[in-house]
């Protein structure tokens, strides 16, 4: 096997996040799903944007956020995702390349526009996400760089992008390319509504042995396994994936690999500002430790440190020096 060019290559939604603080009353007035993620069309996105207060725009997307964290910790990364040939597409491409991530997917001409996620952050730090997927859901398999996929230690896929047909086919092909090259495949379940729609696909991938590292939170674990009891959900999956990682918010996280089990508490945070990206950055910390062949507990610890950093400020990308934090606290 050739020496890998990348630690992690990811396929995900290429999204620009538009974030604004708001009161709970606005969530109720707009009829939004507080704390969840809802898909909206282009007209719905415009209506919500008009209702927002002063906002910040920053490139996002679940897998892209994870790569941003990985890159900040020193891992070599590449991203595959679809933007449109428009202003937000240029913003996304600039932002991801600026943090040292290779991004070579050509922009798509014509409609729809580049994806955006309108995020309302309430005083309790809950983020209510409303996503217009736009161009990101039109990633064709022929846009994949299979040589780059085969040249990465880990292929990381986000469940959100499984919903539209075209990128779902692209991700299946990417899994084949990674497997052919003898690389690992990591998958994050992303959200309960995705499992509700595609749980049978995800369970089939797991049963077929195509997932090496599975990321879930406790509610996604329950949705995937049908087990409301946390330990019962763990038991249902632990022998089906080589590495299972389950986060539990303020209660920390658990990972299982074969007969080994590790747990960590959540890293203390003086003031939680915005939980956007907590799971994405947890995955970043875990994967950074994993590609360095760190012990399971250390990987979890890295994840907790990265997640704590991102929830201490607005936005789903790290602002502090994660490499330094890992060195000091890891």
pLDDT digits (tens, 9 = 90+) for 169-208: 999 999 999 999 999 999 999 999 999 999 999 999 999 9
pLDDT of residue 270: 82
Residue 42 domain-assigned (yes or no): no
Residue 153 domain-assigned (yes or no): yes
What residue numbers bound the domain in which 160 lies? 6-13+62-110+139-329
Residue 221 domain-assigned (yes or no): yes
pLDDT of residue 70: 98
CA-angle at 158, arms to 56 and 304, nearest 5°: 70
- CA–CA dist 236, 210 (Å, integer): 17
- CA–CA dist 218, 251 (Å, integer): 10
- Residue 192's alpha-carbon distances to 69, 216, 226, 262, in angstroms, are 24, 10, 12, 25
7 contacts 153 by C-beta, under 8 angstroms: yes
Smallest CA-to-CA distance from 281 within 242, 308, 312 is with 308
Residue 321 domain-assigned (yes or no): yes
Q: DSSP string of 146-208?
A: HHHHHTEEEEEEEGGGGSSHHHHHHHHHHHHHHHHTT-EEEEE---HHHHHHHHHHHHHHHHT
Question: Hey, what are 157's tokens?
Answer: 């896929």
CA-angle at 177, arms to 279 and 91, nearest 5°: 50
The domain tally of the chain equals 1
DSSP 8-state symbol, 36: S
pLDDT of residue 186: 98
Residue 243 domain-assigned (yes or no): yes
Place of tokens 């859901």: 137
Span 248-267, pLDDT tens digits: 988 999 999 999 999 999 98
- CA–CA dist 277, 65 (Å, integer): 7
Residue 205 domain-assigned (yes or no): yes
Residue 1 domain-assigned (yes or no): no
CATH of the domain at 189: 3.40.1190.20
| pLDDT tens across the length of the chain (330 residues) | 578 999 999 999 999 988 899 999 999 999 999 988 888 999 999 999 999 999 988 888 999 999 999 999 999 999 999 999 998 899 999 999 999 999 999 999 999 999 999 999 999 988 898 989 899 999 999 999 999 999 999 999 999 999 889 999 999 999 999 999 999 999 999 999 999 999 999 999 999 999 999 999 999 999 999 999 999 999 999 999 999 999 998 899 999 999 999 999 998 888 888 777 899 999 999 999 999 999 999 999 999 999 999 988 877 788 888 999 999 887
Q: What is the pTM of this model?
A: 0.90
pLDDT of residue 157: 98
Residue 253 domain-assigned (yes or no): yes
- CA–CA dist 83, 105 (Å, integer): 8
């Amino acid at each position: 096997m050739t020496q890998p060019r990348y630690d992690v290559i990811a396929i995900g939604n290429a999204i620009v996040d538009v974030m604004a603080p708001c009161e709970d009353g606005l969530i109720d007035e707009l009829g939004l799903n507080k704390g969840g993620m809802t898909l909206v069309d282009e007209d719905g996105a415009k209506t919500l944007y008009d209702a927002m207060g002063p906002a910040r725009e920053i490139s996002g997307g679940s897998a892209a956020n994870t790569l941003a964290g990985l890159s900040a910790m020193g891992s070599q990364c590449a991203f595959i995702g679809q933007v449109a040939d428009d202003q937000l597409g240029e913003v996304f491409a600039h932002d991801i390349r600026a943090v040292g991530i290779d991004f070579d997917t050509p922009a798509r001409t014509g409609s729809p526009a580049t994806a955006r996620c309108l995020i309302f952050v309430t005083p309790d730090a809950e983020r209510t996400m409303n996503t217009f997927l736009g161009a990101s859901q039109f990633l064709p398999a022929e846009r994949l760089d299979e040589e780059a996929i085969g040249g990465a230690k880990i292929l990381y896929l986000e469940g959100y992008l499984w919903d539209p047909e075209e990128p779902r086919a692209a991700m299946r092909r990417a899994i084949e390319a990674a497997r052919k090259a003898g690389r690992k495949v990591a998958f994050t379940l992303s959200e309960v509504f995705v499992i509700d729609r595609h749980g049978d696909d995800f369970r089939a991938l797991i049963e077929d042995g195509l997932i090496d590292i599975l990321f879930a939170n406790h509610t996604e674990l329950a949705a995937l396994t049908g087990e409301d009891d946390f330990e019962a959900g763990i038991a249902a999956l632990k022998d089906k994936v080589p590495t299972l990682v389950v986060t539990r918010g303020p209660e920390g996280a658990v990972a299982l690999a074969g007969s080994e089990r590790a747990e960590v508490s959540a890293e203390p945070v003086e003031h939680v500002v915005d939980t956007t990206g907590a799971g994405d950055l947890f995955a970043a910390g875990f994967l950074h430790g994993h590609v360095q062949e760190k012990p399971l507990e250390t990987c979890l610890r890295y994840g907790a440190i990265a997640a704590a950093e991102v929830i201490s400020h607005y936005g789903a990308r790290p602002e502090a020096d994660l490499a330094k934090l890992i060195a000091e606290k890891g």
